[in-house]
Every structure is written in C-alpha cells, then in structure tokens.
Chain A
C-alpha cells in the first residue's frame, strides 16, 4: 500500500454483505444489440423539464442533441442511435421515442486536442454539452460539480470505484477494460478543478483490480494513490467515502467541496474523458443485470434509452411477472412504468426472487441495532417514532432526517422488520410538500398585500380628486349657487 496521509477510517456503522461480483466480471462486458425503439423521458430525476430540440417525425443522427433544459440545472440528452424521432404526445410530450434504423449514422464530434492546455471553463462547457451526469446513481450534472470546484478549489480528487452494492460490478468492469482512460480522465479533472492529488478508492476484496491499479499508479505521477477501503455497505456513498478518507463529516447542507474534496464515480470520469477527448456525448453505458431470477448475471453495454425489459430478456429471466428493481438491491426502487428505459444514471437492475410476502412489521423493541449500523450518525428508531407521530418540525430540526442517505442498512438489521427507510422517504416527501406549499402561501400573501396596497392608493387618489372638485369655484360650487338662486326665486 502506498504511504498516505489519509488514514482510512472504516465507515461508521454499515453492514457486511458478501460481494458476489466475480461471476459477473468473468463474463466480461457484453453488448446488447440496438433495439427498434429507444425511450427518452423529458423529465429528469429531480423533476426538471427538458424541451425537445427536434421535431416530431424528424431524422436524427447518433449523438445529436434531442432535448435541452431551459436552465443550466439539467443536462441535454442526445440520440443514442440514428433514426426517426416520435413524440409520445404531439402537444406536450412526456418522452421522446427514437425509431432506430440500422444505418449507424453519427454526427461529427469535435474533440479538444490539448485538454491540459485548454482553460477549465472551456472544458466544462464541453462536459455540459455532452450531457454528463453522475453515473453512479445520483445523476447530478457533472458540469455543476466542476463549476462549483472553480469557486471553491478542492485539494483532492477522489475517484470512487467503491461499488458497495454487493451485486453490482459495472464500474469494476469499466476499470478492468479502460485503466488508461481513467488515469487520463483523472488528469483532466485535476486540471479543471485544481486538485493536486488524486485518490482512487476501491473495495479491498477486488484484489485483481487493486493490483492493476497499483501497478498503473506506480508508473504514472506520484500524485495518484490507490486506497483499498474495507468491504462494507454503504462505504461507496459519496458522503461516507469522503468521511472515511478524510475523517470529516459532511451533512446534507454541505458538499464534498466544503472539506476540500471533489468526488467522481469511475463511469463519470470516463464519460468526462470521452466528452473532452472525443467530443462524444453520453449515449451508452454499462449496466449490471443480476439477481436470483436472472440466468446469466452480466455487465451489458447498452444504448441509453433501451427499454429495461429488453435488457432483462437478453440475460434470461425465470419469471416474467417479476418487476425489476432499478438501482441496486439495497437502494433500488421498483418501477411502475411498463416501458421504463435505461437512463444515464441506471447502473444496476436487480431481479428479485419470486415475490414472497414481506415479513409483517412488529413493534420496535428498542434494540438499537439500526443506530449501530446507520452510516450517517442518526438514530433511526427515534426518527421513525417522530415520522409516525408526524412531527415534521422536529424531524427537520438539527439536520437529522435530511442527513439520511436512504441506504437501507437499518431495514436489513431490524429484527422487527420495520420498513424504516420507506417511512423516511415518505416523511422527506411530506416535508418537501409542506415546504412547497409554505413557499407558495408566502408568495400569495405578498401578492395579496401588494394588491391591497394598490387598491388603497387608488381609493385615496379617487377621494382626493373628489375633494378637489368640491373646492370653491369648482363646478359643484357653481351648480350649488344656481340651485340656491332657483330656490330663492321659487320661494319669493
């Protein structure tokens, strides 16, 4: 092991699950043939809407931009194949569908020839145009992370190759095949962010990759360090990894940059590298398909937009009625959409066993196991009690619930089978809705008060005008005088 100023403190809590990746890795990376129809949802994970940049029924080439977001919070998406674009609805499409042809026509890519001599801002623009997002599941736009690094330069770049999900091996496969790209990509990111050292973190059971990495790191600059992290779930989560490498805790309001670190997943590093040196947008990725219902668990290179069902078909599944879990066995979620497609951040599909009735939750026995395994220093049992009692204010206080990373470790160890994570996710959603409605109410109040003020001003103005008219010499005065005269005349 290289001598390192970073003491590797194992992640607090967590659970050990025997990793089962060798079988997947032995099979290598397989390629799924291009499907007839590719699906591209226009709303991203965080609810940002994108606008199509191509017309219904128009021809697109592979790599062509097909939708962009109006603000820079969301990245553009690109056609993963040449073909004809169809809107799902003509008026207000929810997704774009590409009916692929087999001509394999590609747009011209414009690479940067000398990335290390190009200004960071220029490079970030390339990353943005290529639509690179965090490919380890979070889907956070890479250009925003890099831009933040310009404001707050980090000292250390961490390449996160810790795939703590025990049945996911897509990053490991990528590393095995593209070591050079990873190191070159890391050099470019170091150039953009200004970080001086680079740590490649990987789980200690991946001995083969570890060896190769160390050999490669010894050949290249001194600034590359390879660190083996103890195998434990969820040590690959960004917050947890940064904490175990630097000893500094990040809470939900901070980012890794607050402790001088910038962290990228391996697949993202390669995507950034390809975006800059080839000019290629993100149009494909590697997905691990595994689970007890899968005949041949494997890593598959697949075009973005491919329907999930096709991918599972290709790996052979025992039972067609099982819905896949997207995003790993621990943190994944089942999807309700029948034609859900592979997104840039979909790293794993897990096919569970034949659906067995989940164990009925029993009352909490206050054993404290959940607090012991919680990697975010939380007390899940008391948070659960607060969520049950709908004490939303208290849940938000002291930054407790927002710090939950929804890893599911507490669910796994709970002897009473209480669905803790589910309760936390729902509580978070509830708090979010309350916040939104409060925000809306505040806005409505301001508009109401502004209108009241305007109406009052108008009323006083009107009153003033009336008063003006009543001044001596005004029309009213003359009328009154005439009236009086007429009255006097009739009297006499």
Chain B
C-alpha cells in the first residue's frame, strides 16, 4: 500500500515537474530574439531554450540577443548575468539578406536553409528574400553556390 502510494506520488510529481519545465522552455524561448541563427550551437531558438532549461547550455551563447537577452535570462533563472561568450559570435546591428537577383541560378539551396521560410522562389526560377520575414540569421549565405546573397543593415525606419 505504502509503495503504491509512493509510486503514485512520484508519478504525479514527475508529470508536474515535466509540465513546469515545459513552461520554463516557453518562458526562455520568449526571451530569445528568434533569429533562429543557430550560432549558439543548437538548431534554433527553441532547442537552445530547451538546452538552457535542461542545464546543458549557458545563458551567454546568443550573439543576436546580446547583453540584453543575457540580463533577461539571468533575471528569469535567478542566475548571474555574464558577458557574452564571443566564441559563439559577436552582437551585430540588425540586418537582412538580399539576393542579387541577376546572379541567382535558382538552385533552391537557400530556400532549404532558411529557418523561417523567408525566401521565395522555385527550381530554375529567380529567388528573392521577403524582407519583413528575414531575421538576418545568415544561414542562407553559406549554401549559395554563386555567392549572390549579401547581408545589409535594416533601414532605420520600417514602414509596415
């Protein structure tokens, strides 16, 4: 009887704690800049949030978020705010990718690389970046076989 109740209690706690950790992942994810650039070493912001929640990653691995994100994460997790680990990259001003359309050969490699589906195009057709959707993650630069993608700073004022 005792064992059964203990087992039940443990099962309940396991479930509850699991739920709480799910909430924690959400909370961490909400503080990340959502560039999905994978500079932190994880394939996106949510996996990184998961890794932080599991205690597998430090909070100072996000270059796009910079010191602000680290401070916010530190506040959430009750940890100390540490300087950004520059091994993962440096904070840059906001940028977007632009395809030089005259050079594009329509290989679709950048489309496959884009984590937020911000590139429009089809095989053998010219591709273009939807500027509003681009997070500036630079993941499309490396796959491009003709180097026709460049990063440009975001215009200071955007009209929507």
> Which stretch from B12-20, B31-39, B77-85, B142-150 is at the chain A interface?
B31-39
- Contact of A445 with B133 at beta-carbon distance under 8 Å, contacts A47-B159, A48-B159, A49-B159 already known: no
Task: Please report A residues at the B interface, Cβ cutoff 8 Å.
Answer: 43, 47-49, 437, 440-445, 447-452
Closest 3 CB pairs of A and B: A441-B34, A444-B34, A447-B116
Contact B29 A445, beta carbon cutoff 8 Å: yes
- Contact of A43 with B159 at beta-carbon distance under 8 Å, contacts A444-B35, A445-B34, A447-B133 already known: yes
**Bound-complex Cα distance A441 to B32 (A):** 8
A-B contact pairs, 17 of them (CB 8 A): A43-B159, A48-B159, A437-B33, A441-B33, A444-B34, A444-B35, A444-B36, A444-B116, A444-B133, A444-B135, A447-B118, A447-B133, A448-B46, A448-B115, A448-B116, A449-B46, A451-B116
**Bound-complex Cα distance A105 to B116 (A):** 53
Question: 7 new A-B pairs (CB below 8 Å) besides A47-B157, A445-B34, A448-B34?
Answer: A48-B159, A441-B32, A441-B34, A444-B34, A447-B116, A447-B133, A451-B115
Closest to A449 in B: B46
Closest to A48 in B: B159
Would you call B45 an interface residue if the criterion is a C-beta within 8 Å of the partner chain's C-beta atoms?
yes
B124 → A minimal CB distance (Å):
21
- Contact of A448 with B118 at beta-carbon distance under 8 Å, contacts A43-B159, A48-B159, A49-B159 already known: no
Would you call B106 an interface residue if the criterion is a C-beta within 8 Å of the partner chain's C-beta atoms?
no
Size bracket, chain B contacts: 10 to 19
Contact B45 A445, beta carbon cutoff 8 Å: yes
B129 → A minimal CB distance (Å):
13
Of the candidates B44, B157, B159, which one forms a contact with A448 in the assembled complex, judged by CB atoms under 8 Å apart?
Answer: B44
Would you call B100 an interface residue if the criterion is a C-beta within 8 Å of the partner chain's C-beta atoms?
no
Closest to A437 in B: B33
**Bound-complex Cα distance A25 to B34 (A):** 58
A46 → B minimal CB distance (Å):
10
Q: Which residues of A contact B115 (CB under 8 A)?
A: 448, 451
A396 → B minimal CB distance (Å):
15
Q: Which residues of A contact B32 (CB under 8 A)?
A: 441
A450 → B minimal CB distance (Å):
7
Task: Please report B residues at the A interface, Cβ cutoff 8 Å.
Answer: 29, 32-36, 44-46, 115-118, 133, 135, 157, 159
Q: Which residues of B contact A452 (CB under 8 A)?
A: 44
Interface centre among A49, A442, A451 (most CB of B within 10 A): A451
Q: Which residues of B contact A450 (CB under 8 A)?
A: 117
Q: Which residues of A contact B44 (CB under 8 A)?
A: 448, 452
Q: Which residues of A contact B116 (CB under 8 A)?
A: 444, 447-448, 451
Q: Which residues of A contact B46 (CB under 8 A)?
A: 445, 448-449
A272 → B minimal CB distance (Å):
28
Q: Which residues of B contact A445 (CB under 8 A)?
A: 29, 34, 45-46
Closest to A43 in B: B159
- Contact of A442 with B34 at beta-carbon distance under 8 Å, contacts A448-B116, A451-B116 already known: yes
Of the candidates B117, B157, B159, which one forms a contact with A447 in the assembled complex, judged by CB atoms under 8 Å apart?
Answer: B117
B110 → A minimal CB distance (Å):
14
Q: Which residues of A contact B33 (CB under 8 A)?
A: 437, 441
A349 → B minimal CB distance (Å):
25
Interface centre among B36, B116, B133 (most CB of A within 10 A): B116
B69 → A minimal CB distance (Å):
10
Q: Which residues of A contact B29 (CB under 8 A)?
A: 445
**Bound-complex Cα distance A448 to B116 (A):** 5
**Bound-complex Cα distance A343 to B118 (A):** 38
Closest to A47 in B: B159
Interface centre among B34, B118, B157 (most CB of A within 10 A): B34
**Bound-complex Cα distance A43 to B35 (A):** 29
A123 → B minimal CB distance (Å):
30
Q: Which residues of B contact A48 (CB under 8 A)?
A: 159
Q: Which residues of B contact A43 (CB under 8 A)?
A: 159
Q: Which residues of A contact B117 (CB under 8 A)?
A: 447, 450-451
**Bound-complex Cα distance A48 to B135 (A):** 23
**Bound-complex Cα distance A158 to B44 (A):** 55
Q: Which residues of B contact A441 (CB under 8 A)?
A: 32-34
Closest to B44 in A: A448
**Bound-complex Cα distance A193 to B33 (A):** 45
A85 → B minimal CB distance (Å):
22
A394 → B minimal CB distance (Å):
13
A279 → B minimal CB distance (Å):
30
B28 → A minimal CB distance (Å):
12
Closest to B118 in A: A447
A57 → B minimal CB distance (Å):
26
Contact A448 B133, beta carbon cutoff 8 Å: no
Q: Which residues of B contact A444 (CB under 8 A)?
A: 34-36, 116, 133, 135
Closest to A442 in B: B34
**Bound-complex Cα distance A96 to B159 (A):** 18
**Bound-complex Cα distance A442 to B44 (A):** 14
B134 → A minimal CB distance (Å):
9
B43 → A minimal CB distance (Å):
9
A188 → B minimal CB distance (Å):
33
Q: Which residues of B contact A47 (CB under 8 A)?
A: 157, 159
B74 → A minimal CB distance (Å):
15
Q: Which residues of A contact B34 (CB under 8 A)?
A: 440-442, 444-445, 448
A337 → B minimal CB distance (Å):
14
